């Protein structure tokens, strides 16, 4: 299970390259990270350029359209690998963060997470990605980068935004044509009927 993340201070607004990030305790964040080969080279270059110019919503919408087309190896289509990633996301739920919703797609991952003090988002994502990269590369007998270096994050503004984000994550496999019903996709909060109610202390109602 992921162990590499160490408690650190939140950075507030910051940037690594061209994607802006907001890192603060008490926020609920919607995060998307993708396999390194999930966008063809030409589209990746176009996407990178648009990321410098377009709004956050347009940038995300464009990336989602391309991701849902299923480019690349789609290694997470393998049940054992998808389960490995799902288990990593949930490993420290209630301890380092509060996981509200998630879905592991064939070439990317969505997770909606409440940020706890001393466990900044960047450390959580680094922990998830580094652990799963090592484990998946070992299973596949491969080397090199598994995940794209950067990730998307959007902080949740209000209850309406929260509900729409949960619905988006839940319905992503349906929208991508992978299943007819959200509950039929095994690697998601929808299949587990996961509660989205998380207190600031990380306690989840029974």
CATH homologous superfamily of 16-192: Transposase IS200-like (3.30.70.1290)
Q: Is the pLDDT of residue 64 over 90?
A: no
Report whether pLDDT(54) > 80: no
pLDDT score for 154: 86
In this prediction, residue 198 carries a pLDDT of: 46
Of 13-22, 69-78, 182-191, least confident by mean pLDDT is 13-22
pLDDT of residue 199: 43
Model confidence at 7, pLDDT cuts 50, 70, 90, reads very low
Q: Domain ranges in the chain?
A: 16-192
Task: Give me the mean pLDDT over the 68-75 stretch.
Answer: 73
In whole angstroms, give the CA distance from residue 123 to residue 110: 16
DSSP string, the chain: -----------EEEEETTEEEEE-TT-EEEEEEEBTTSS-HHHHHHHHHHHHHS-HHHHHHHHHHHHTTT-S--GGGSHHHHHHHHHHHHTTBTTTEEEEEEEE-SSEEEEEEEEPTT--HHHHHHHHHHHHHHHHHHHHT--S--B-S--EEEE--SHHHHHHHHHHHHHHHHHTTS-SSGGG-SSBHHHHT------TT-----
Quick one: average pLDDT of 44-53?
A: 60
- For 166-182, what is each residue's pLDDT tens digit? 999 999 999 999 999 99
Report which of residues 87 and 122 the model is more confident about: 87
This prediction's pTM: 0.77
């Amino acid at each position: 299970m992921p162990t590499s993340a160490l408690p650190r201070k939140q950075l507030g607004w910051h940037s690594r390259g061209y994607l802006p990030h907001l890192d603060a305790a008490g926020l609920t964040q919607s995060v998307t990270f993708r396999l390194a080969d999930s966008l063809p080279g030409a589209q990746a270059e176009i996407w990178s350029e648009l990321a410098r110019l377009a709004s956050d919503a347009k940038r995300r919408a464009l990336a989602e359209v391309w991701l849902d087309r299923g480019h690349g190896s789609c290694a997470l289509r393998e049940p054992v690998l998808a389960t490995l990633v799902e288990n990593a996301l949930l490993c420290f739920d209630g301890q380092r963060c509060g996981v509200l919703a998630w879905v592991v797609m064939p070439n990317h991952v969505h997770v909606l997470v409440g940020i706890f003090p001393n466990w900044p988002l960047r450390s959580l994502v680094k922990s998830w990605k580094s652990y799963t990269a090592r484990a998946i590369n070992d299973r596949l007998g491969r080397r090199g980068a598994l995940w794209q270096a950067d990730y998307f994050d959007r902080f949740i503004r209000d209850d309406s935004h929260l509900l729409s984000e949960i619905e988006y994550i839940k319905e992503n496999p349906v929208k991508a044509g992978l299943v007819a019903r959200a509950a039929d996709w095994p690697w998601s909060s929808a299949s587990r009927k996961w509660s989205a109610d998380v207190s600031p202390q990380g306690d989840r109602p029974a």
